[in-house]
Structure 1
Amino acid sequence: MERADSPSPLQLVRRALPDLHGATQRVAEHILANPDEVARGSITKLAESAQTSAATVSRLSTHLGFAGYPALRAALAMEIGRGLEAGWASDIGLAIGPADPPEQVLNVLASTQANALRNALGAIDLAAATRVADAIAGARRTHIYGEWGDAIPARELYIRLLRIGIPVWFFDGPQSAQIAGGLLAPGDVALVVTRSGTDPTTLEFIKQSKAQDALTVAITGVVNSPIGRVAEVVVDTGTAAGGTWTEFFAGRASDTLTAGLLFVLVAQRVPDHLTANHPNGPGQPVVHPDT
């Protein structure tokens, strides 16, 4: 019967194992326990590891349907390579390969971030950003929420707003989100950073804050998402979550740009906060080395 592909060599060994005995059983068990080593090693090394002879290894190879040990080893190497490639592709993505030189990796990361910035320039609603800046500048409280990778630009925005005297708090995690939403009141601002727009905890924070009559704001890459549809103001970063780390890393640039825009717009509305506490007196900007 024709098949679309040859069976996995490791699966062939597993199927044969119950009918094997003695030395051939030891060889099969060693293959299953150390497939990487066997794929790189010689027939002699495998025989020594299984405490048997090269002839026994050859017999097992033909028993499994291979022309000999070299064919079995080649099949194992291909199988392991497929697994590594699949794991890399699902995590890092296909834009960068495991063997790419450092300069190529750098160029890919830089170009994907540049694309994300161009997308942000075309997507950010400046009227919406201005509305958010006006609200933050005059709010009694601004609560910022972000989780995991989204927490990085969210926390940076919090630190910078805090530096210029804005009454702002940062939250992450389900319990703190529930507390944060319950403390808000009319005239306050609830702002979230969420690339995907689907995080359940973030969505509940937005819903609770909206029930408190606070202005709800979502910085997101997917406007038509559950969070985007609930939030009163949505600032589109132009970059969705993506399925791999490379895509997510690229979008970090658009998130940071959007958060930086809001910070500067707020700072423009409270210029006195930048100079009021400067040690050299009014007229000198407040600059901290870590911000």
Structure 2
Amino acid sequence: MITPPLGGTRALLQSLAPSLVPSERRVAEVCIEDPEFAAAASVAALARRAEVSPATVVRACQKLGFDGLPRLRDCLRRDLGAAAVRRTVGLDATPEVPGGAAGAPAEHPVAHVFTRAMAGIQGALGALDLDAFDAAAGAIRESKRLLIIGNGASLPSAQSVSLHFLSSGKVCECPVDIVTQHIAAKLLGPGDVCLAVSDSGMNAFTLRSARLATENGATVIAITSYAKSELAQIADYALVAGADFHFWNDSTVTGNIVQVLLLSALHAAAIAHTPGAERAQAATFDEVRSMIADTSDGASDGTSDGTEAIRRGGT
């Protein structure tokens, strides 16, 4: 039996729902789309709403990690109560649109995207296994070689965290070319780590690299939104977060937010207490500052003021 963190029940359900058979998935979808109803429903009522049998409701709850509907209801009620308290004290107030745009702020695209992102982040860690996270950070810290793989929409996140590792003195590689990814993965061995980033956990190219790394004895860490995805099954450590963001028929682009935050946390944990990390970060900053200073020499458009700010330690 599992107990998702406060506010994380819907995210947990969404991370597991794709792995269920269609009839069981309908039960999960009712709980995701109408948690108020599910939190008060009997097995029979939930079965009628999902158009399945009562036995399917019980089976779905068990596959979602609960020993039955009562336990799932308890978690939904807990989250709904916490959300009500947040609204009461004003923690979930809709942000104002910058510049005081006319009309209702909630209808402005900026307010819509930011409000949705804030709401999603609150429950995004519902499926994350903190023990797996700590073990993954330790594996990266002790690794002889670190290969970071990402393709499609997950590539920018992979590239970003690779830059952070390099800036902290942790040598790593994050090839963009698919063939190079596969060759690099095949050259890994025991003591090496392959950090595979795939939102869906089903990208064929990323899966190929992860399998090659596993076959050669490397440790595979998965960053994905779905707990039962193929990548999560391959990985030694599956770090699952962010499924609450994903509605593929929606025009807003918010899915990578949790992915980037989780990778940032993994980077911070992996380099914590690592000798030389602070020195490497300082050297990186000095190099970037020097590059900016070189490009602004002789400039008359005001960029030298920005360079001077960086020299004083600003950004």
Same-fold call, TM cutoff 0.5: yes
> How many Å apart are 1:163 and its aligned residue?
0.6
Structure 1 match to 2:167:
163
| Equivalent residue, structure 2, for 1:112 | 116
Aligned counterpart for 1:196 among listed residues 200, 203, 225: 200
8 Å contact from structure 1 (residues 239, 254) kept in 2:
no
- CA distance in 1: counterparts of 2:213 and 2:177, whole angstroms: 15
Separation in structure 1 between the aligned mates of residue 118 and residue 175 of structure 2, nearest angstrom:
29
- Per-residue CA deviation, residues 242-271 of structure 1 (Å, 9 max, x unaligned), is 314645x22211101100100110121315
Separation in 2, partners of 1:109, 1:191: 29
Cα distance 1:274–1:146, how it changes in 2: closer, same or farther (>3 A)? same
Consecutive unaligned residues in structure 2, runs of 5 or more:
1-103, 293-314
From 238, 243, 246, give the equivalent of 2:248: 243
Structure 1 residue corresponding to 2:261, chosen from 251, 257, 265: 257
Q: Aligned to 1:266, what secondary structure does the other structure show?
A: helix
Match of 1:179 among 178, 183, 196: 183
Structure-2 separation of matches of 1:130 and 1:123: 15
Figure out how many residues of one structure are paired with residues of the other and give that number.
187
Q: What residue is the counterpart of 2:295 in the other structure?
A: none
Are the counterparts in 2 of residues 119 and 239 from structure 1 also a CA contact under 8 Å? no
Summarize deviations over 1:130-174 as a string: whole Å, max 9, x none. Answer: 111111111111100111210111111100001111121002343
Query: In the TM superposition, what is the alpha-carbon distance from 1:288 to its structure 2 partner?
Result: 5.2
Aligned partner letter, 1:225: S
Deviates more, 1:217-226 or 1:122-131: 122-131
Give CA deviations for 1:1-39 in whole Å, capped at 9, x if unaligned.
Answer: xxxxxxxxxxxxxxxxxxxxxxxxxxxxxxxxxxxxxxx
For the Cα contact (< 8 Å) 1:186–1:215, is it kept in 2?
yes
Q: Distance in 2 between matches of 1:277 and 1:203?
A: 32
Residue 215 of structure 1: aligned partner: 219
Alignment of 1:72-111 (within 5 A): 104-111=108-115
SS in 2 for 1:269: coil
Cα distance in 2 for residues equivalent to 1:119 and 1:286 = 38
Distance 1:245 1:188, change over 3 A: farther
Cα distance between partner residues in 1 of 2:140 and 2:200: 24
Q: 1:236–1:121: structure 2 CA closer, same or farther, 3 Å change rule?
A: same
Residue 125 of structure 1 and its aligned partner are, at CA, apart by 2.0
Q: Distance in 1 between matches of 2:183 and 2:219?
A: 17
Amino acid at match of 1:216: V
In structure 2, the CA distance between the partners of 1:221 and 1:276, relative to structure 1 (3 Å rule), is closer
DSSP-derived class of the 2:222 partner: strand
Helix, strand or coil at the partner of 1:123: coil
Taking the aligned partners of 1:267 and 1:286, their CA distance within structure 2 comes to 20
Is residue 2:130 matched to residue 1:126?
A: yes
Larger-Rg structure = 1
Kindly provide the amino acid, as one letter, of the partner of residue 215 in structure 1. Answer: T
1:13-162 equivalent positions in 2, closer than 5 A? 104-162=108-166
Task: Work out whether residues 278 and 286 of structure 1, in 8 Å CA contact, stay in contact via their aligned partners in 2.
Answer: yes
Q: CA deviation at 1:202?
A: 0.8
Cα separation, partners in 2 of 1:198 and 1:276, compared to 1, 3 Å: closer
Aligned-pair Cα RMSD in Å: 2.8
Sequence identity, in percent?
24
- 2:105 touches 2:111 (CA, 8 Å); kept in 1? no
Gaps of 5+ in 1: 1-99, 280-284
Return the TM-score normalized by structure 2.
Answer: 0.54
1:126 and 1:170 mapped to 2: Cα distance?
Answer: 25
Quick check: 1:134–1:269 contact (8 Å CA) kept in 2? Answer: no
**C-alpha contact (below 8 Å) 1:116/1:251 kept by paired residues:** no
C-alpha separation between the residues in 2 aligned to 1:243 and 1:194? 15
Of the three residues 274, 277, 290, the one matched with 1:273 is 277
TM-score scaled by length of structure 1: 0.58
Mapped contact 1:137–1:269 kept (Cα < 8 A): no
Indicate the residue corresponding to 1:69 in structure 2: none
